[in-house]
Amino acid sequence: MRINKRFNSYCSAIVSLFTVALLALASCSKVEPKDVVYEEKEKTILLYFASHNNLSTDAASNISKIIQGYVPSDGNIVLYCNNFDLSTKQMKDTLPVLVNVSRNKKGDVQIDTIYKFPYINSCTKNQMKSVMNITKTICPAKHYGLVLWSHGTGWLPAGYYTLDPSTSSDEGKRMAAYAPVFGGAASSRNAAGVSSGHSASGGSRGSRTLFPEPEGGVDPYAHMVKSFGSELGTEMSIFDIQEAIDDSHFDFIALDACLMGGIEIAYQLKDCCDYVISSPAEILTDSFPYDKVIERMFNEDYTGVAKDFYDYYNAQSGEYRSATISTVKCSELESVAEEAAKLFEKYRSGIPTLDVTNVQRYFRFNDHWFYDLKDYLDNLCGYAETVAFGEALKKAVIAKYTTGQMISLVIDPAKFSGLSSYINNPEEPTLTTYYQKYAWNEKVGMIVPATSSE
C-alpha cells in the first residue's frame, strides 16, 4: 500500500542528526560510573529501550523526540538504549548504555553517558534489575517513573505468541516448544510479519474456528505495530518484570508495547507502582508522543499522558488513526478484583460455552487471547449483574481513550473499558495452567485448579 511506504519513509526521515550525535556520544564517551553521581532531584524517569531488534530505527526516532522535548530543571531523564550506526541508522553494536538528559545549574540541557555495559541481553530480569539499581545510584531522586519500550505480547508465556505453527501441530507440542527457554528461537511476530502460531485446537472453541487468519499467513500491517521485550529470541514474562522491579517502587509504569493493557498485568504490577499506563490493543511504531508526554509524567498528570497519546493518533488518517490507551490507578484494583471474584464464583461454569465472538476483542486475526474485561463479564453474567463491578472499574480506570479502530479491527467506544482480559478456553490447557500463576486469577478464580473445580 502506498500509505505504508510513505509512513516508512517518514519514520526514517525523522531520525534527526541530534539523536545520532547523542548516540555517537554514548558510544565513545569514557565512562567513570564511580565519579558520575548526580545530586538528588525530585524525580528520575527511566526509559528502558529494549530495542536490539527490528525496532532500532523507531527507538532512535523516539529518543530524538525525548531530547528535543521537555527537560525538567529538577529531574533526570535516563535512557537505557543501544548504539546506532551514523550512516545506516541500524544497530552499530550491541553494547547498551545509560544516558542522562538533564539541566545543569545554569539551566542548560546536558547529555551525559553515565554507564556503558558489556554485552548482555536486555530482555532478562537480571539486566533490567541492574539498570534500575544503577539508575537509582547515579541519578538519585525522591520519586521514580518507568517506561518499558519494546515488543509486547501481553500476559502470555514468553515465546507463546510467536511460535511458528510448523513447529507445533497441537497445543501440547506447543507447550513443549517454549517451555525450556524464554522465547526460544522464535522471532517477533510483528518483526517477521507472520501470523501467530496457534495450534489447531488453540484456534478453535468447541470445534468452531474463532477468527480468520490473514491470507497466506502474513499480516499485511505487521510493519505498523510493535508487538514486552524481544532480543535474539529472548523474551521477558510479566513475572520477570515483577522480579526485576523487586523492592523498587515507581510513581508510574508506562508500557510502550503492544497488548500490555490487560487486567492480569495491571493487577500483577499494582504493588510496584501507583499508576499503569498501557494499551489493551497494539501500539503503532510511532509509539507515545514523547515530545509532549514527558512533561506530563514529571508533573504527575497521568491522565494527560493518555489524552496526549489519543490526540496524537486521532489526528492521523486511515489505518494510522489507530489507538487504545488507558491510565489505571493501582490502589483501586483490589476493589475491582473483589467484585470480579463474586461474579466468577456465580457464573464461572458458563465460560466454556460463552460465545466469545460477541465480546469486544483487541487482537487482529486469530490471536484470540485479549478481550475487553467489562464486555466479557457483561456477556457472561448479564448487565444487571455487573453494575457494582462496573462502578469499581470506573474508579480504577481513570482515563481511557480509543480512536474506534486498530488498523482493520473495529473497536466500539461504548464497549471499551480500558482493560483487556483472557477468556479461558478449555481447549488451550497450556494457557489454563499458566494463567493460574497470575495474582489476578488467584484472587478472582476465573480458572480454579482441577482438584477444587465444581
CA distance linking residue 274 with residue 4, whole number of Å: 38
For residue 388, what pLDDT is reported? 98
Predicted local confidence at residue 198, as pLDDT: 34
| 236 and 125 Cβ atoms separated by less than 8 Å | yes
Mean pLDDT on 23-39: 51
Alpha-carbon gap, residue 253 to 49, rounded angstroms:
14
CB 144 within 8 A of CB 250: yes
Stated as kind and residue range, the H or E segment containing 326 is strand 324-329
The pTM score is 0.82
- Average model confidence (pLDDT) for the chain? 79
pLDDT of 26 > 80? The answer is no
Strand ranges across the sheet with 324-329: 109-116, 97-103, 75-81, 41-49, 141-149, 250-256, 273-278, 324-329, 397-402
CB 325 within 8 A of CB 312: no
pLDDT digits (tens, 9 = 90+) for 367-377: 789 999 999 99
Any idea where the domains of the chain sit in the sequence? 2-153+230-329
> Given a cut of 50, is residue 184 above it in pLDDT?
no
| Distance (Å, whole) CA 371 – CA 365 | 13
Rounded average pLDDT over 397-423: 97
Write the burial class of residue 68 (CB in 10 Å: 0-12 exposed, 13-18 middle, 19+ buried).
middle
Q: Which of 73-82, 83-92, 221-230 has the highest mean pLDDT?
A: 73-82
Looking at per-residue pLDDT, the higher value among 86 and 113 belongs to: 113
Measure the CA–CA gap between 231 and 218, rounded to whole angstroms.
21
- pLDDT of 169 strictly over 70: no
Q: What is the DSSP letter of 284?
A: B
- Direct distance between the N- and C-terminal alpha carbons of the chain, in angstroms, rounded to an integer: 52
User: Tell me: the pLDDT tens digits for 115-147?
Assistant: 988 888 888 899 999 999 999 999 999 999 999
Q: Are the CB atoms for 92 and 320 separated by under 8 Å?
A: no
Mean pLDDT confidence for 264-285: 96
User: Among 44-53, 63-72, 160-169, 381-390, which stretch is predicted with the lowest mean pLDDT?
Assistant: 160-169
Q: What is the pLDDT of residues 292-304, one digit of tens each?
A: 999 999 999 999 9
Assigned CATH for 2-153+230-329: 3.40.50.11970
Q: How far apart are CA 2 and CA 17, in angstroms?
A: 27
Smallest CA-to-CA distance from 418 within 303, 312, 339 is with 303
